[in-house]
Copies of this chain bind each other. A is one copy, B any other.
């Protein structure tokens, strides 16, 4: 496997690269974290942020869009956001993206968001081409679990007002998210990191994998 030289022993060494960053560009440093409801994204994110050596700013993409909309005098309440026409929404996405780049100049950003958004009339890409090009994330992390694990967690989590999906639909949504992540990587310099959050594997390992990615930011902000 001569062409494997770049990563000769991928899983042997946890991080055998020089401190001044292979495959992570200089600042800004942005990690997008995605995952469908029920994979455990919030829990993993919270635990990883406590443990990472790099001090990350956690930003929610939807919150940022809302802030930009309020600033522009377009809305007062969150509920009004989805009544905005798509052109306006696209502009808000771009403004939020620019804001992220601004923040990331000062400190590493962990961007809590979705790869695709399931709406009643279809899947919407979370990051259209021009938006992902502005953000240019270093990593797109997808938290995944098996459809049956996800379904189980959703059923135990009744207070959150989630729609009931079949395992087939859950699998499909995760498939589409992977394809979306590849498309986003095509329009940025991002690596796609998939973290499995399985019941038997333990949350610990999933958190560690995220910490490993986040810690790559350490050398970037001296």
Contacts and interface: CB of A to CB of B under 8 A. Distances in A.
A153 B125 CA distance: 32
Contacts of A161: 8-9, 12
Interface residues of A, number: 85
A55 interface: no
A178 interface: yes
Nearest to A112: B3
Contact of A117 (B7, B83, B116): B7
Contact of A7 (B9, B83, B84, B118): B118
A4 interface: yes
Contact of A23 (B37, B63, B89, B194): B89
A71 interface: no
Nearest to A123: B192
Interface string A162-176: 011100100010011
A126 to B, nearest CB: 9
A3 B113 contact: yes
A10 interface: yes
Interface in A51-91: 60-63, 66, 78-79, 81-87, 89-90
Contacts of A158: none
A121 B10 CA distance: 9
Interface in A10-63: 10-18, 20-25, 37, 60-63
Contact of A191 (B79, B81, B123): B123
Given A3-B62, A9-B163, A22 B122 contact: no
A8 B124 CA distance: 14
13 contacts: A1-B37, A1-B160, A3-B60, A6-B81, A6-B82, A9-B163, A10-B119, A12-B161, A20-B85, A22-B83, A25-B86, A90-B189, A183-B186
Interface of A: 1-18, 20-25, 37, 60-63, 66, 78-79, 81-87, 89-90, 112-114, 116-125, 128-129, 139-141, 160-161, 163-165, 168, 172, 175-176, 178-180, 182-183, 185-187, 189, 191-194, 196, 212-213, 216
